[in-house]
Structure 1
Amino acid sequence: MKRRLPLWGRCQAPEAEGVHAIVKGVSRMRRFLSALLAAALVLSAATPAMARHHAPAAPKADKASAAAAQPAEQAPLLRIGLTSGQPSVTVAAGGRAEARTESAKPVALTATASYEIRWQNGAFLVGREKLRGEILIIRPSDKSDGGLALDGRRYRGALELRHRGAGLTAVNIVPVDDYLLSVVPEEMPTDWPAEALKAQSVAARSFALKSRGRHAAEGYDLCTTTHCQLYKGIASEKTVSTAAVRATRGEVLTYGGQPIEALFHTDSGGMTESSEDVWGSHVPYLRAVRDTPLGTMPWTKTMSKADLEQKLAAKGHAIGRLRAIELSPLAVGRAAKDRTASGRVKAMIVTGTKGSVTLSGTAWRSLLGLKSTLFSAKLTKDSVTFTGFGAGHGLGISQWSAKRLAETGKSYADILHHYYTGVTLQTDSY
């Protein structure tokens, strides 16, 4: 904010007599009034900015603080990859819409009508209309909430079509909170407590903003699967989860001034995990934390020795006939030479008639289809039984534990700070 000079110290009442003094006084009065008006304008411009910020500005601006100064309608946009390699797609608008390229006149799309779109001889064919250009954008031209349908599934925001490789790639360009209206109910049951849903909303928003560009090579930010976050468009939206998204609008978890990769999983089994024990790299806000009770979501999986031998052989580990398994006993929250601080498997050794193989807990989980790496293994004459707790990779929020915390009266902020270490819940982020 610019420094303002004191006004009243610069203005004095005229004391000279006669016309000259009167003219001089009027002139001074005009200057005074002009200065007063200018000051009022400065104050009126400054007041909203001061009202938006609840803490002094940081010495160095970052992306999140810059976004905080934007109006709500300028919430960050995400590019969600919907389909790729399609010879054609079908688009329908819930209300009036417009299709345009960078080098052709726009084409109006009639509400409720369907249009087949394909690429032919360097142009997009939209029904019978030909639009030349590299990128086709379709966006609603009114305020209808009907969205745009791509191959029967409706989405908020706009659609972008590009000809890439052997077919069309379709991308949904959507504000982050409109994206979350579909993500949150896909990732967490909507009959769970409101505070758990709010925690999920903030985590999903933070993850999405941190992950922009994750699929840059394919031409978009995020996919629609569990590789990123589940996203199925307007049909997934629920009133309760929408309320949770709206209640946390603009709230993002940050570390060092940047959104965090706010991972989440189904159930911790009693303790979450540190990043280096899953990924091999240290992430300061993804630290192992205890949950209560211990040993949640117990599970068992039994397979024949022959099945395990075949799975190993298919991955290049031909051990012959399985003879032994080397793994410390499981105790949730207790480390061992082959277990992490949470009790998850660091490494397990199996020995056969043709040799031994050592794989990480994550590799065993993937190879054998286990629910988590918090498991023990028992070898019998013809089979192997794996017994464990929890579900998922164990990083970040444990969703079932978040539900339990919410049921005990914990707020969504409490839940988030429990699972993410040293983070800031930044409000008014856009």
Structure 2
Amino acid sequence: MRLLPALLSAFAALAAAPLCAAQNVRVLIASKATLSVNTAPTSAGPGSASAPTIWNIGVRGGKLTLGGQDTGNALLSLPANVGGTLEVAGHRYRGGLILRATPGGVQAINVVDLEDYLRGVVPAEMPPLWAAAAVRAQAIIARTYAAARINPAAPYDLCATTQCQVYEGVAKEHPLSDAAVLETRAEVVSSGGKLADTYFSADSGGYTASSLEAWGRDIPYLKAQPDPTSPTAQKPWVITAPLGDVEEVAARYGVKLGPLSSVSVSKASTSGRVIQLSFSGENGTQTLAGADAGGFVRSLGAKSSRVKLSVDGGLLTLTGSGSGHGVGLSQWGARGLAESGKSDLALLAFYYPGAQISVLTEAQANTRPQLGPTLPLAVAARQGSAPGQPARTELTAEVTPDLLLEPDLFPALIADLLIPGPAARLTL
């Protein structure tokens, strides 16, 4: 029996039509010189199936190879196995798969229903045993982020890392985060008839940052405002660094004054984040402003740019609060608000003031998501549901001390790597 036809029978050459007509997202889950793909619905032991289920995928001459044999195609697709999963590079995923030859090797792109995708994202972003309202809010903003990036003209919509949203597939799924995804099905944050920019960070440090102060873009619903339930507002973090080390870091930002005698914040934003730093040294004084000022304090180990500086005894002390850029929803702040009895819609109305809640319409093949019924978030919060959706059902879980994690253990995905700039999207 010839091996290649048998292998190719499992894969169809990718055509213009999608793998299925649902609202799918295409997520780049792996990119390597060679990849292994296990098409069995679950992990199968040796001899458990009569036909091979594990394929080794490579690239030769710009075309994909299966088991070392040329396929003649640069693109291959594996349709979704209804109710089943597949394994790529040791990780299990729902949905189907696109394999794409690139100069660097093979890209594996998971084609998965948006709601199934969220099942592998939400618990990677927020502990599923946190207050249900906070987890539902996380589901809504994660759905919004993904839906806004669906682009049929691109080879894929999202990556699976912190440069997009962390997506860990089936292994990360949890019944409580599954429930949050289901209860908020198709719900997204919108503004002006478009999907909103639902930035979020781990902890605002007691005061959210505006998009204007963070990135120079004035987005009306991303305002600087007090955020009293973010935990490090009450428990600041402290970092110290010898001035010799500080001088080395400063030199990387163009500040070369010889031995430093002082470093101070000469200008701060409305939310208390560094806008300008002043340096004094043996050879004079110099300032560092904008993104460079924030980058400097982060290079010293600061968790956010909401920080105060002092020099004493040859040490620079950084006393700060927060973790991440602070724009939009604060995950730890959302947890605090949820534990005080606020609903998911009330959380979103607080962190994205003036925005709306919308329900996505049924998707058409190869199209971007479309917004359906819409209400102001403040109105939806008062009525207790999104437009046309049933009221929420609260699910609770006992939280044990080992689940009271430090903010850094569950970092927000749309963190400082996602500020507008060259590194905002993974490209290969």
| TM-score category (smaller protein) | 0.7 to 0.9
Q: Note if contact 1:177-1:249 (Cα within 8 Å) is conserved in structure 2.
A: yes
| Inter-CA distance 122–401: structure 2 relative to 1 (3 Å threshold) | closer
- Runs of 5+ unmatched residues, structure 2: 1-19, 43-48, 363-428
Indicate yes or no: 2:198 matched with 1:262.
yes
Indicate yes or no: 2:369 matched with 1:423.
no
Q: Which residue of 1 aligns with 2:24?
A: 77
Deviations 1:83-131 (A, max 9, x none): 22x22110002339xxxxxxxxxxxx97772111112345432236642
Question: Any idea what SS the aligned residue of 1:394 has?
Answer: coil
Q: Which residue of 2 aligns with 1:248?
A: 184
Deviation at 1:252, TM superposition (A): 0.6
CA distance in structure 2 between the partners assigned to 1:237 and 1:156 by the alignment? 11
Q: Which residue of 2 aligns with 1:344?
A: 273
| Inter-CA distance 233–293: structure 2 relative to 1 (3 Å threshold) | closer
Q: Note if contact 1:198-1:248 (Cα within 8 Å) is conserved in structure 2.
A: yes
CA distance in structure 2 between the partners assigned to 1:95 and 1:371 by the alignment? 42
Indicate yes or no: 2:65 matched with 1:125.
yes
Indicate yes or no: 2:103 matched with 1:178.
no
CA distance in structure 2 between the partners assigned to 1:367 and 1:214 by the alignment? 38
| Inter-CA distance 352–401: structure 2 relative to 1 (3 Å threshold) | same
Deviation at 1:215, TM superposition (A): 11
| Inter-CA distance 374–214: structure 2 relative to 1 (3 Å threshold) | farther
| Inter-CA distance 75–197: structure 2 relative to 1 (3 Å threshold) | farther
Q: Note if contact 1:94-1:111 (Cα within 8 Å) is conserved in structure 2.
A: no
Report sequence identity in percent: 36
| Inter-CA distance 226–87: structure 2 relative to 1 (3 Å threshold) | closer
| Inter-CA distance 368–404: structure 2 relative to 1 (3 Å threshold) | same
Residue identity opposite 1:275 in structure 2 = S
Q: Note if contact 2:307-2:319 (Cα within 8 Å) is conserved in structure 1.
A: yes
Question: Any idea what SS the aligned residue of 1:285 has?
Answer: coil
Question: Any idea what SS the aligned residue of 2:116 has?
Answer: helix
| Inter-CA distance 93–137: structure 2 relative to 1 (3 Å threshold) | same
- Runs of 5+ unmatched residues, structure 1: 1-72, 97-108, 329-337
Deviation at 1:225, TM superposition (A): 1.6
Residue identity opposite 1:139 in structure 2 = P
Question: Any idea what SS the aligned residue of 1:278 has?
Answer: helix
Deviation at 1:213, TM superposition (A): 5.0
| Inter-CA distance 202–130: structure 2 relative to 1 (3 Å threshold) | same
Q: Which residue of 1 aligns with 2:212?
A: 276
Q: Note if contact 1:365-1:373 (Cα within 8 Å) is conserved in structure 2.
A: yes
Scaled by the length of structure 1, what TM-score is found? 0.72
Scaled by the length of structure 2, what TM-score is found? 0.73
Q: Which residue of 2 aligns with 1:144?
A: 83
Deviations 1:227-270 (A, max 9, x none): 21111111111111011001100001111111112011111111
CA distance in structure 2 between the partners assigned to 1:213 and 1:316 by the alignment? 40
Bigger relative contact order (CA 8 A; separation at least 6):
2
Residue identity opposite 1:82 in structure 2 = I
Residue identity opposite 2:193 in structure 1 = G
Please, which of 23, 29, 41 is the counterpart of residue 95 of structure 1? 41
CA distance in structure 2 between the partners assigned to 1:126 and 1:110 by the alignment? 18
Deviations 1:67-92 (A, max 9, x none): xxxxxx854222211222x2211000
Q: Which residue of 2 aligns with 1:103?
A: none
Residue identity opposite 2:359 in structure 1 = T
Q: Which residue of 2 aligns with 1:113?
A: 53
Residue identity opposite 2:315 in structure 1 = S
Q: Which residue of 2 aligns with 1:8?
A: none
Deviation at 1:181, TM superposition (A): 0.6
| Inter-CA distance 289–380: structure 2 relative to 1 (3 Å threshold) | same
Question: Any idea what SS the aligned residue of 2:186 has?
Answer: coil
CA distance in structure 2 between the partners assigned to 1:260 and 1:402 by the alignment? 18
Deviations 1:38-77 (A, max 9, x none): xxxxxxxxxxxxxxxxxxxxxxxxxxxxxxxxxxx85422
Deviation at 1:211, TM superposition (A): 2.9
CA distance in structure 1 between the partners assigned to 2:296 and 2:133 by the alignment? 35
Q: Note if contact 1:276-1:282 (Cα within 8 Å) is conserved in structure 2.
A: yes
Indicate yes or no: 2:156 matched with 1:220.
yes
Q: Which residue of 2 aligns with 1:22?
A: none
CA distance in structure 2 between the partners assigned to 1:421 and 1:234 by the alignment? 34
Deviation at 1:357, TM superposition (A): 3.3
